[in-house]
Amino acid sequence: MKKKLLGALLSVAMVASLLVGCGSDGGAATTTSDSASDAQTETEAPADNSEAEAPADDAEAEAPADTASTGGKIGISMPTQSLERWNRDGAYLDEQFKAAGFETILTFSDNDSGRQVNDIQNMLADGVDLLIVAAIDGEALNTAMNEAADANVPVIAYDRLIMNDAVSYYVSFDNYTVGKLQGEFIVEQLDLANAGDTVYNLEITAGDPADNNAGYFYNGAVDTLKPYIDAGTLNIVSGQMDFDTVATAQWNTDTALERAQNVLSSYYADGTQLDVWLCSNDSTALGVAQAVTSDYAGSNSVLITGQDGDEANLKNIVDGVQTMTVYKNVSNESIVTLGLAKAMLAGDTIDESLIPSFGIECAYDTESYETSEGNKCPSFLLVPNVITKDNLQELVDTGLYTMGDDGYLSAN
Ligand code: BGC
């Protein structure tokens, strides 16, 4: 009985919270069906289904019996287990929500957006009260998003924005700043402002065009480097600069490796010196570093950028094969997501006044991101920071990595 009342109250609260989200400009998310709250009243923790192992792509992880499902059921849809960070994101989100008394369904969709639509549809059929989605392709989830809106299930776009007004809020890092930090690092390391007549040779590898973040990373870096490219201080020997030419489908390491090998054999085999390779993230930097190690004729060390703090890349940083990574603490990203989800389900006011309750530095941004033209998506954006060989200890200090006796870091 009490549960039913709570469910009814949550129903009103959830509709109210949807009204202030991205769908507020008349998106289908403002309908008043109470199907989501029905699901909430019926939510029970399953008898016993604790999973010690990370679930295989598309596997489900349910709340263990000792975690009473008091908060409702949360669908967590991650893109793939083949890129290191999403394993961490999935695990942290799952842990955080379970510890807060929610039941969870966690899926990985093997970088297949059709499968992600399917996975989300299954979560809706399972009666989830809220969806957290890191999209494989931000433009390919309309069917699932429209169904979520019809069922009154609010959606948090996690890390990657989804181009659909059913998204209520966006939690990510400041993506443009990620690229800017990479660009600024290059400017500082090479002291480009005082380069005089010296010319440094640069190549660029960007991310997946289907990922809305990829353009932000690229623009943040290229906007920072552009004055030096225009002045001739930075020279892109291959001439390959526009986003589509340097993009890497699905952020795939082997794809980045192959393109880097082609560039090296076509433009650097004659002994031309390569100074910098701007890579948008660690999975692409891994491929580029491999190509530079095996296929670059020169003996200078090439400055290679990255993003994430993947284990293999941190090893490359220790070994001097990669120069930096932009670290994003995804445990903190999951904590912000939990705080936001709780506030949404409780019908609390959602704006910057929520931030102190997260206990994590982030900005509330209502201008930068749109789910469709003119439809701004309120966003909570965390702060990325630069990691090099010299400050690896900062990662250990997060408690999320351990440094072995060999000096290499492993994620806990
Ligand atoms: C994330 C990056 C990640 C990339 C590939 C992006 O959307 O923001 O952290 O490196 O996807 O997984």
With 60 as the cut, is the pLDDT of residue 379 above it?
yes
Please write the tens of the pLDDT for every residue from 107-118.
999 999 999 999
Contact present, 96 and 335 (Cβ < 8 Å): yes
Please write the tens of the pLDDT for every residue from 71-91.
799 999 999 999 999 999 999
Please write the tens of the pLDDT for every residue from 187-218.
999 999 999 999 999 999 999 999 999 999 99
Mutating to test ligand 1, I would choose from 137, 212, 280, 307 the residue with most ligand atoms within 8 A of its C-beta, which is: 307
From the CA of 307, give the closest atom in ligand 1: 10
pTM of this structure? 0.86
With 70 as the cut, is the pLDDT of residue 225 above it?
yes
pLDDT-based confidence at residue 58 (cuts at 50, 70, 90): very low
The torsion angles phi and psi of 312, rounded to 5 degrees, stand at: -65, -35
With 50 as the cut, is the pLDDT of residue 335 above it?
yes
From the CA of 175, give the closest atom in ligand 1: 8
Of 30-39, 298-307, 359-368, least confident by mean pLDDT is 30-39
Report which of residues 19 and 412 the model is more confident about: 412
Please report the pLDDT score of residue 38 as a whole number.
30
Cα(281) to centroid of ligand 1, in Å? 7
Please report the pLDDT score of residue 70 as a whole number.
63
Angle at 205 between CA 202 and CA 211, to 5 degrees: 150
Q: What is the mean pLDDT of the chain?
A: 87
Cα(399) to centroid of ligand 1, in Å? 22
Cα(406) to centroid of ligand 1, in Å? 28
With 80 as the cut, is the pLDDT of residue 16 above it?
no
Cα(144) to centroid of ligand 1, in Å? 22
Half-sphere exposure of 344 (CA within 13 A, CB side): 29
From the CA of 85, give the closest atom in ligand 1: 12
pLDDT-based confidence at residue 23 (cuts at 50, 70, 90): very low
With 90 as the cut, is the pLDDT of residue 7 above it?
no
Write the residue with the smallest CA distance to atom 5 of ligand 1. Answer: 251
Please report the pLDDT score of residue 215 as a whole number.
98
Please report the pLDDT score of residue 269 as a whole number.
97
Q: Please choose, from the candidates 241, 234, 295, the residue with its C-alpha nearest in 3D space to the C-alpha of residue 264.
A: 295
pLDDT-based confidence at residue 411 (cuts at 50, 70, 90): very high
From the CA of 173, give the closest atom in ligand 1: 8
Residues in contact with ligand 1 by the CB-under-6-Å rule are 83, 85, 159-160, 211, 213, 251, 281, 283, 307-308, 328
Please report the pLDDT score of residue 13 as a whole number.
39
Write the residue with the smallest CA distance to atom 3 of ligand 1. Answer: 281
* Mean pLDDT within 125-144: 98
Please report the pLDDT score of residue 212 as a whole number.
98
